[in-house]
């Protein structure tokens, strides 16, 4: 339910991106995390996936067991993707990779805050991206017998 709620909140915040499809896959895994912080993390990742996607693109959200003690939450878009030098700059405060010159909303603080929140929940965040492939953000969090994912 938390991941579905994050999708609803992201959609409400960015109604101009309604043409981008969002699919939830295998989201029944549970994590040990603060529900409010986790919601902030996922909303930020989904809004980024919407904002930096291609017209008519898709966002896929999925969970998987990373190992016996962690769960991975993946948010993947079908946008233009990023080069390795761009990826290296992403977690710097106020870095928008040139998006500040366009109409894409944002401040360049979302991923910085997202990483901080993930870290405070004993988690980590990583990004995979390539031009023409899109971007996948992954948050790894401690697994729980029952939880909030």
pLDDT per residue as tens digits for the range 47-60? 999 999 998 999 99
In angstroms, rounded to a whole number, what is the distance separating the alpha carbons of residues 50 and 40?
15
Chain mean position to CA 65: 17
The mean predicted confidence, pLDDT, of the chain is 89
The end-to-end CA distance of the chain, in Å, is 7
Alpha-helical (H) ranges within 14-141 are: 35-51, 84-89, 110-120
DSSP element (H, E) containing 77 = strand 70-77
pLDDT band at 130 (very low <50, low <70, confident <90, very high): very high
pTM, to two decimals: 0.90
Q: For the ranges 10-19, 89-98, 115-124, which has the lowest average pLDDT?
A: 89-98
| pLDDT over 60 (residue 29) | yes
Residue 122's pLDDT is what? 97
Query: Do 32 and 141 touch, CB atoms closer than 8 A?
Result: yes
- Can you tell me the mean pLDDT for 114-126? 97
pLDDT of residue 71: 95
Task: Grade residue 90 by pLDDT with cuts at 50, 70 and 90.
Answer: confident
């Amino acid at each position: 339910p938390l991941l579905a709620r994050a999708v609803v909140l992201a959609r409400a915040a960015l109604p101009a991106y309604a043409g981008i499809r969002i699919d939830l896959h295998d989201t029944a895994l549970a994590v040990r995390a603060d529900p409010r912080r986790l919601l902030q993390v996922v909303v930020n990742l989904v809004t980024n996936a919407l904002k930096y996607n291609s017209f008519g693109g898709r966002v896929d959200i999925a969970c998987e067991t990373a190992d016996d003690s962690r769960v991975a939450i993946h948010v993947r878009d079908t946008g233009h993707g990023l080069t390795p030098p761009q990826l290296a700059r992403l977690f710097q405060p106020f870095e928008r990779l040139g998006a500040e010159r366009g109409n894409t909303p944002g401040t360049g603080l979302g991923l910085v805050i997202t990483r901080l929140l993930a870290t405070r929940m004993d988690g980590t965040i990583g990004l995979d991206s390539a031009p023409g492939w899109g971007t996948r953000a992954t948050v790894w969090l401690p697994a729980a017998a029952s939880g909030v994912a």
